[in-house]
Amino acid sequence: MRIRISWQTGAVEAIIGSTPTAKKVWQALPCSASASTWGEEVYFEMPVTAELEPDARQVVDKGTVCFWVEGRSLALPYGPTPISQGDECRLVSEVNVLGRIDGDARVLTEVVDGASIKVERVE
């Protein structure tokens, strides 16, 4: 499943798998939200409720598409956060891994707090 995440000055596409949470995200699309940033991570709420999956983790690779269960948010890390050790992408808590951004995740540096974000299916 391919999704597009766009904001006023840019966009990224991502491929998400068929995990239970990824399917819920897919069903909720299209949706819009207001972006927040935390270090080199963009996150925003989605109309999705999920439980932590067995392979949930706190440290992920740059460009991983994650779902933060406690915040009901899609989380898109592209570099270190305030709690990272070194260059890792450490999120505030364990997240469900949904997929991966297709291309350079550093384009997310353009997203500022409060930016309008749109997430939609690419079919």
| CA–CA dist 96, 24 (Å, integer) | 12
Residue range 6-59, pLDDT digits in tens:
999 999 999 999 999 999 999 999 999 999 999 999 999 999 999 999 999 999
Q: What is the DSSP string of 56-85?
A: -EEEE-TTEEEEETTTTEEEEE-S--TT-S
Position 123 scores a pLDDT of 82
Please report how many Cα atoms fall inside a 13 Å half-sphere around the Cα of residue 37, on the Cβ side: 14
H or E stretch covering 24 = helix 20-28
Could you state, in order of their start, the residue ranges of all structural domains in the chain?
2-122
Residues in Cβ contact with 104 at an 8 Å cutoff, skipping those fewer than 6 apart = 63
Matching CATH number, 2-122, of 3.40.50.2020, 3.10.129.10, 2.40.100.20, 3.40.30.10: 2.40.100.20
Q: pTM of this prediction?
A: 0.96
